[in-house]
């Protein structure tokens, strides 16, 4: 099969690209190379790479020519950045997804929309989001993702396109841009920089190793039903502070680096997914959380050449804007 992977130069997309190549598929990547897109994530001699925008029909038409399927990862992906300004989020997530679906409507490719557990919103202790739950997004990022998702059932019903949605939980592993909790804290810990914990650090996320996320997406690509959504969750619920303690242990960094800083506005306390539906199709996550974290820390330790240039460029200006004031007003963590 020839597959167009949009956003394939980013973190999760680049892992799916390598997985599809290993399975014998031909791969085309269309990526705008925003701050988080990086061609160093890709085996450029094995894929056809096109720089372009999913919100531009001519770019999509050119990339999709001759493809049997499209998997859409392209998105603005950081909640904190969406709080600073969300215009690009709406353009890519809502309008860009529609442009892709117009291509699918015309040319008949199989389509998978890669979405997130954040569209279900904040969860009470004990509950699990199922695919039938209403969408209650609470950040500008998750609103944009939910808006993109809403196109899929509408295009399936109205035009009969062959499209499905995956909704993944918090993903970690090699090649993740160092703005998200795990790669930011691992690289800061390796550099002896402060670790800015939002609020009390007791927010809960369900952590999913990137290869497990990609095996779920691949299964939905090959066997998912039109109009259906499938949750992909790791079954690894942890408070942020537990994850951070593990990072301190695995990097050998000192606890004195921990700083409790002003919380993220509107911060969701907990996400958790029921994955029974995808398990019925045959999917299981295989990576133990501690083992996945150990491999991830080792990858960042061994690949400074990948992340050091990133952290000294646009990232530095973003970091100052996001954290400088918060860190000045921070308190250290109780021992
Ligand atoms: P990422 O930021 O590493 O990658 C996003 C990629 O999309 C980048 O390569 C970027 O250049 C590209 N892109 C952005 N706008 C584009 C546009 N208009 N046209 C073409 N390319 C564009 O993000 P990621 O963590 O790999 O996330 C990939 C997808 O998975 C996103 O849709 C995200 O919502 C979803 N997701 C992420 C997680 C997670 O924890 N990281 C969990 C669940 C779902
Ligand atoms: O749940 C899936 C989502 O996970 C994806 O859809 C998003 O693309 C991805 O960014 C991620 O969103 P989160 O907001 O959950 O991830 P992040 O890594 O930014 O934060 C994880 C938790 O850590 C969250 O409770 C906020 C907290 N945090 C984060 C950062 C960056 C901190 O305490 N300090 C920080 O500096």
* Residue 241 domain flag: no
* Residue 184 domain flag: no
Q: Which residues are catalytic?
A: 117-118, 141
Q: Domain of 218: which CATH number?
A: 3.40.50.720
CA gap 117, 175 in Å, rounded? 21
Quick: pLDDT tens for 87-140: 999 999 999 999 999 999 999 999 999 999 999 999 988 899 999 999 999 999
Over residues 145-163, mean pLDDT = 98
- Work out which ligand 1 atom sits closest to the CA atom of 7: 7
* Structural domain boundaries enclosing 127: 2-172+209-232
User: 259 and 195 in contact (C-beta within 8 Å)?
Assistant: yes
Q: Whose atoms come closest to the Cα of 114: which ligand?
A: 1
Asked if residue 293 has its Cβ within 6 Å of ligand 2, the reply is no
* Residue 143 domain flag: yes
- Closest residue by Cα to atom 10, ligand 1, is 37
CA gap 30, 47 in Å, rounded? 10
Confidence bin at 313 (pLDDT 50/70/90): confident
What does the chain come to in residues? 335
Q: To the nearest whole number, what is the mean pLDDT of the chain?
A: 97
Q: Whose atoms come closest to the Cα of 244: which ligand?
A: 2
Domains held by the chain: number: 1
What DSSP string describes 250-272?
HHT--GGGEEEEPPPTT---B--
Quick: pLDDT tens for 246-299: 999 999 999 999 999 999 999 999 999 999 999 999 999 999 999 999 999 999
Over residues 65-86, mean pLDDT = 98
* Residue 281 domain flag: no
């Amino acid at each position: 099969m020839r597959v167009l992977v949009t956003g394939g130069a980013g973190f999760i997309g680049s892992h799916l690209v390598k997985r599809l190549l290993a399975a014998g598929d031909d791969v085309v990547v269309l990526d705008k190379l925003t701050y988080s897109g990086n061609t160093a994530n890709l085996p450029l001699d094995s894929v056809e790479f096109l720089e372009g925008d999913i919100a531009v029909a001519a770019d999509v038409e050119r990339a999709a020519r001759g493809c049997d399927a499209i998997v859409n990862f392209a998105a603005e992906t950081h909640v904190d950045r969406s709080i600073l300004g969300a215009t690009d989020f709406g353009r890519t997530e809502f309008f860009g997804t529609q442009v892709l679906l117009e291509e699918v409507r015309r040319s008949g490719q199989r389509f998978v929309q890669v979405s997130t557990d954040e569209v279900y919103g904040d969860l009470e202790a004990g509950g699990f989001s199922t695919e039938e739950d209403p969408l209650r997004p609470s950040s500008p990022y998750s609103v944009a993702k939910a808006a993109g998702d809403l196109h899929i059932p509408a295009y399936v019903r109205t035009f009969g396109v062959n499209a499905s949605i995956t909704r993944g939980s918090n993903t970690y592993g090699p090649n993740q841009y160092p703005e998200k909790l795990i790669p930011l804290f691992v690289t800061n810990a390796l550099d002896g920089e402060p670790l800015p914990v939002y609020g009390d650090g007791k927010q809960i996320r369900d952590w999913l190793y990137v290869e497990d996320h990609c095996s779920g997406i691949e299964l939905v690509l090959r066997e998912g039903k039109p109009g259906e959504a499938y949750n992909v969750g790791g079954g690894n619920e942890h408070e942020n502070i537990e994850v951070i303690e593990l990072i301190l242990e695995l990097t050998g960094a000192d606890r004195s680096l921990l700083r409790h800083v002003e919380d993220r506005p509107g911060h969701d306390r907990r996400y958790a997914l029921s994955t029974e539906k995808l398990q019925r199709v045959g999917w299981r996550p295989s990576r133990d959380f501690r083992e996945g974290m150990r491999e991830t820390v080792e990858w960042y330790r061994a690949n400074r050449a990948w992340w050091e240039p990133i952290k000294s460029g646009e990232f530095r200006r973003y970091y100052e804007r996001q954290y400088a004031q918060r860190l000045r007003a921070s308190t250290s963590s109780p021992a």
